[in-house]
Chain A
């Protein structure tokens, strides 16, 4: 058995180094890699399958057919995969105890949270933009069999494709924030699903005069506004405004996670 050799290299902790560390963590966990792949398969695969279904059963009224929404329908499923992964990236550290090692190495705790958020956000973005594009192109080529397709150059199309990828990034970070806030996998996933499903149901209990207006601001509706070619102003915010509102929810979750991380014992 050899003794421990000396090490003389400089070893200051910087935000950039924490990013590199988080990237190593992200890519070195098979379960994380599988979750990311699942997200991509859902975006592309489900878009193609649903396009094929619609080609087999063409709509009666072609003027209201949403070719965009059909080809990107996989995003509706993929949001849960990426959101749950976001929760797990934080709660996994607490469940396994590795948070102790992580925070001992990065005692300025917020650097760890920002490192995770930026690494995860960028990874999701880099994977989901091409995935959404492939889903769109493949979906439209399927739909072209019945002349239901639209082109990438048409107004709003590029925005919707990019926006759906950004929406997935925001859902993932929302999960990350909730995971960091609650430090518990079951709790984090419940809170995520609750936020994505419950508000629209609760809004339904409000008087009709307010409910239509309030509905636009619930997370799910706000986030998906960016995926419609022509959002109906009565039920939906303008595309980028909607996504912006969703990002606000994400920002609040991350801010609460940051506050808890600083305040509570690890």
Chain B
């Protein structure tokens, strides 16, 4: 359980995190979303006491992180994968970490095996690929068998097999009753993994809701229509709450009408439909829609929001 109350961080006059209040509950995977620069990493750093809040507070399992006598038992964190001295082997990195808490050597071997680094554990970490670095970071986070797991962009650099492994690992950890808090910019992956979402933008809380609710209330379902007479159909479909746009070929993208309604309108007008398909709102679209005004860094592309 992670609880933030009015959590605020100001760097050199700029508010990186602005009055965040939220709770991350055990038993589900909670996704932490926000555009670049929204304050996700800063928030995670404050949770484990690396940065001190300017005001407000955050507790883990009921106490500030620094007040825990067995911190690795409470929280396992992966913040930025390359948090290891490149000259040290993965094994010694984990062993040094284990020693701080009296964790046995056999546990180090266990986590190395579990993340699939067995063959590379004795090699210098500086020679690791990005994916291997991520696996080591996840091993680091799981070393103390923590009740709360915090992972900042754990999927970066992982291959398809690795991504699927992390997905099932996160769900397993949550199913064991742990608190799992994970940030990622891979929306489709997050949609598959997380059951709860916390969305921030420009340091402020934008949404704190379940994935299902987020998609149904924020997502905009559209219908894709292909027809022999797109212009004629578009003219008939347009209305106060209906938005029609031209996609590639003869296809139209229609928002605000169901497939049934469109089929009936086309039939009445005698227009031949070649394709009529409802398109599920994606987390990515819902996220883009929600954070449009809260994007800190955006490519200056004219007409990007088609």
Which residues of A pack against B, CB within 8 Å?
Answer: 1-14, 17-18, 20-25, 28-31, 92-93, 96-98, 100-101, 103-108, 265-266
With A4-B145, A108-B66, A266-B50 as given contacts, are A92 and B85 in contact (CB-CB < 8 Å)? yes
Among A20, A29, A101, max chain B CB count under 10 A is at A101
| A96 vs B52: C-alpha distance when bound (angstroms) | 21
The residue from B72, B77, B82, B110 contacting A11, defined by CB atoms under 8 A apart:
B72
- Inside 8 A of B89's CB, which chain A residues have their CB? 28
A107 to chain B, nearest CB (A): 4
| A152 vs B89: C-alpha distance when bound (angstroms) | 44
- Inside 8 A of A30's CB, which chain B residues have their CB? 87
Q: Across the interface, name the chain B residue whose C-beta is closest to A27.
A: B92
Q: Which of B103-150 contact A (CB under 8 A)?
A: 103-104, 107, 110-111, 113-114, 116, 140, 142, 144-145
B101 to chain A, nearest CB (A): 4
Contact with A along B90-101 (1 / 0, CB 8 A): 001101111111
B88 adjacent to A28 (CB under 8 Å)? yes
Is B230 in contact with chain A by the CB < 8 A criterion?
no
Q: How large is the interface on B (under 10, 10 to 19, 20 to 34, 35 or more residues)?
A: 35 or more
With A18-B100, A28-B89, A29-B85 as given contacts, are A104 and B77 in contact (CB-CB < 8 Å)? yes
Other contacts beyond A1-B165, A24-B95, A101-B140: 16, CB < 8 A? A5-B110, A7-B144, A9-B102, A9-B107, A12-B70, A12-B102, A13-B70, A21-B97, A21-B98, A25-B96, A31-B87, A96-B85, A97-B82, A101-B93, A104-B48, A265-B51
- Inside 8 A of B65's CB, which chain A residues have their CB? 107
A260 to chain B, nearest CB (A): 13
Q: Across the interface, name the chain B residue whose C-beta is closest to A23.
A: B99
A100 adjacent to B50 (CB under 8 Å)? yes
With A11-B72, A29-B88, A98-B83 as given contacts, are A4 and B100 in contact (CB-CB < 8 Å)? no
Is B267 in contact with chain A by the CB < 8 A criterion?
no
A6 adjacent to B145 (CB under 8 Å)? yes
A11 adjacent to B73 (CB under 8 Å)? yes
The residue from A7, A20, A107, A266 contacting B71, defined by CB atoms under 8 A apart:
A107
A9 adjacent to B114 (CB under 8 Å)? no
Sorted from nearest, which 8 A-B pairs have the closest CB atoms? A28-B92, A21-B99, A11-B101, A7-B145, A24-B96, A265-B51, A97-B83, A107-B66
Q: Across the interface, name the chain A residue whose C-beta is closest to B86.
A: A96
Which residues of B pack against A, CB within 8 Å?
Answer: 45, 48-52, 65-66, 68-73, 75, 77, 79-80, 82-89, 92-93, 95-104, 107, 110-111, 113-114, 116, 140, 142, 144-145, 165, 169, 172-173
Instruction: Report the tally of A-B residue pairs with Cβ distances under 8 A.
Output: 136
A115 to chain B, nearest CB (A): 9
| A9 vs B79: C-alpha distance when bound (angstroms) | 25
A101 adjacent to B52 (CB under 8 Å)? no
B50 adjacent to A103 (CB under 8 Å)? yes
| A12 vs B111: C-alpha distance when bound (angstroms) | 19
- Inside 8 A of A104's CB, which chain B residues have their CB? 48-50, 71-72, 75, 77, 79
A144 to chain B, nearest CB (A): 43
With A10-B102, A96-B86, A105-B71 as given contacts, are A3 and B165 in contact (CB-CB < 8 Å)? no
- Inside 8 A of A21's CB, which chain B residues have their CB? 96-100
| A178 vs B142: C-alpha distance when bound (angstroms) | 34
Q: Across the interface, name the chain B residue whose C-beta is closest to A11.
A: B101
With A7-B107, A7-B145, A25-B88 as given contacts, are A17 and B71 in contact (CB-CB < 8 Å)? no
B104 adjacent to A24 (CB under 8 Å)? no
B303 to chain A, nearest CB (A): 39
Q: Across the interface, name the chain A residue whose C-beta is closest to B71.
A: A107
B62 to chain A, nearest CB (A): 15
A7 adjacent to B103 (CB under 8 Å)? yes
| A104 vs B142: C-alpha distance when bound (angstroms) | 13
| A106 vs B99: C-alpha distance when bound (angstroms) | 11
